Amino acid sequence: MPTLWFKGLSPDALTQRFCAGSDWELDNELLPFDLKASIAHARGLVQLGVLTPREADRLAKEMEKLLARWEKGAFRAAPEHEDGHTAIEFELTKKLGDLGKKVHTGRSRNDQVVAALRLFAKDRLRLLSDAALDLAHALMGLARHNERIPMPGYTHTRRAMLSSAGLWAGAHAETFADDVAMLSVGYALADRSPLGSAAGYGVPLPMPRQLVADAAGFARVHENVLAAQNARGRIEAAILAALSLLMLSVNRLATDVVWFSSEEFGFVRLPDKFTTGSSIMPQKKNPDVFELARGAYAVVASCEQQVRQVLLGLPSGYNRDYQLTKEPFLRGITHALATLRVMAHVVPHLVFDEKRCRAACTPDLFATDEALRRVSSGVPWRDAYRQVAEQAGRWKTPDLDAALRMRSHIGGTGNLGLGRLAGRLSRIRREWANR
């Protein structure tokens, strides 16, 4: 099968296989977005007089059929296609003859793949934001349900001050809300149409770029044609950077759960259906879900770095190296989405052992409380600090429920502000729904 760049020469088979790599396989995930952008491009060709409205309608109808076939698993790129663009044009030409050969007028595979990648990114960022917000809501629900369960707070992995299960869960929920804001930046970068930029230098035709952008579902045009091409990989890296930060938050959450659910802590119980066993130790109930979620950061961050390293030292304009950014981008997004979804599924079922949590709240957690009590009696802070340090826990553990309530400042255990957090999460979800 001839490639889109075939000019009557016979390319070396080994060279062609190496250059194509796994692009044809990766493009199968991008085919629906490539088709959407191609339909929009055909509408633009009507404005140029390259296609009649009827011809554009015929192309659009045939591409909609290809999309329906793709959804059923009946249309896929194959190794002989080299890439998804060839697969689409081959099918259009097979069905429509010379009309199918016209669809590539005024574009390059370069702006074609960039458009598909950006539409894919927009679609997946919506799913990622939903999954991250689902996880944040799950944590907020956990915080509400366990708001008054006292437990130790740690610094340097040592017991420090009184905390609560509600404070812990609410902290993670708020962190994920912050992380979703970073996804918005990646979405805005991707929401610009590169169509009409070709290989980075435009085309000698008055391409109706805004019309095509509107038809493809982009908010605006990526105006400078060279900047549009130079952005390939950069936008992917920016999105992966946001996902790396998100997975770093998952890493901390998962680490806490792994430790808090261990026999030594016993603060949290994992339902049996979310644990796995050992092939040699019959008693084991392992937190594999959380351990794999903890490791997701390494996967996504490595994808980000792979994209960045490919871009290093590239001159302006299209370079074939860009092809190597596609696989880590798709892989990073897929892994992050799967991780967020499983965490949102499991977290609501975590159970705090209130008895174990309360028993762990020993007098040493209240050293600062004791020092402040003495300050209220007129003792200077530095003297009170030293007195308490010398007495090393020789005071009673206060009433834990009262101690939680007295921390009534905004964000303290007695004033978690979960209602405000719920409002923030709802606003963020509405913002994504309106994109």
pLDDT in tens, 351-361: 999 999 999 99
In a domain, 428, yes or no: yes
Q: How confident is the model at residue 23 (pLDDT cuts 50, 70, 90)?
A: confident
**Per-residue tokens: 54:** 């009827």
Shared-domain flag, residues 167 and 94: no
Q: Which of 78, 105, 132 is the last residue of a domain?
A: 105
Query: What amino acid positions are annotated as catalytic residues?
Result: 156, 278
Residue 5 lies in a domain: no
Question: Residue 410 falls within a domain, yes or no?
Answer: no
Verify that 375 and 392 share a domain, yes or no. Answer: yes
* Residue 427 sits in the same domain as residue 377: no
Same domain, yes or no: 342 and 376 = no
- Indicate whether 59 and 171 sit together in one domain: no
- 401 in a domain, yes or no? no
Q: Are residues 199 and 341 in the same domain?
A: yes
**Cα–Cα distance for residue pair 43/57, rounded to 1 Å:** 8
Residues 86 and 160 in one domain: no
Write down the residue that tokens 């085919």 correspond to. 31
Q: Answer left, alpha or beta for residue 136, where phi above 0 means left and psi between -120 and 50 means alpha.
A: alpha
Radius of gyration of the chain (CA): 28
Distance CA 81, CA 416 (A): 57
Q: pTM of the entire structure?
A: 0.92
Q: Is the pLDDT of residue 119 over 60?
A: yes
Q: To the nearest whole number, what is the mean pLDDT of the chain?
A: 93
Can you tell me the distance from the alpha carbon of 407 to that of 416, in angstroms, rounded to the nearest whole number? 10
**Domain final residue pick, 105, 139, 166:** 105
Regarding whether 78 and 160 lie in a shared domain, the answer is: no
SS (H, E, C) 293-333: HHHHHHHHHHHHHHHHHHHCCCCCCCCHHHHHHHHHHHHHH
Q: How many domains does the chain have?
A: 3
* Residue 158 to residue 167: CA distance in whole angstroms: 18
Q: Which of 87, 105, 123 is the last residue of a domain?
A: 105
Same domain as 174, residue 29: no
Handedness of CA 41, 47, 52, 54 (dihedral sign): positive
Q: Could you tell me if 37 and 109 are in contact, meaning their C-beta atoms sit under 8 angstroms apart?
A: no
| Distance from C-alpha of 147 to C-alpha of 140, rounded to nearest angstrom | 10
Kindly state whether residues 152 and 64 are assigned to the same domain. Answer: no
**Would 8 be classed as within a structural domain?**
no
Range of the domain at 331: 110-205+220-360+415-433
pLDDT of residue 187: 98
Question: Would you state the structure tokens that stand for residue 57, as one six-digit string?
Answer: 């309608």
Residue-wise pLDDT tens digits, 201-250: 999 999 999 999 999 999 999 999 999 999 999 999 999 999 999 999 99
Residues 22 and 84: beta-carbon distance below 8 Å: no
CA-to-CA distance for 325 and 236, rounded, in angstroms?
A: 8
For residue 138, is it within any domain?
Answer: yes
Question: What confidence score (pLDDT) does residue 1 get?
Answer: 53
Measured in whole angstroms, how far is the alpha carbon of residue 324 from the centre of its chain? 20
**Contacts of 208 by beta carbon, 8 Å cutoff, 6+ apart:** 44, 47, 48
**Residue 234 to residue 304: CA distance in whole angstroms:** 10
Q: Which of 403, 407, 429, 427 is nearest to 416 (CA)?
A: 407
- Give residue 257's identity as a one-letter amino acid code: V
Residue 24 confidence class, pLDDT cut points 50, 70, 90: confident
> How confident is residue 16, by pLDDT bands cut at 50, 70 and 90?
confident
pLDDT band at 127, cuts 50/70/90? very high
Which amino acid makes up residue 151? M
**CB crowding 396-427: b at 16 or more within 10 Å, else e:** ebbebeebbeebeeeeebbebebeebbebbee
Please check whether residues 336 and 375 belong to one and the same domain. Answer: no
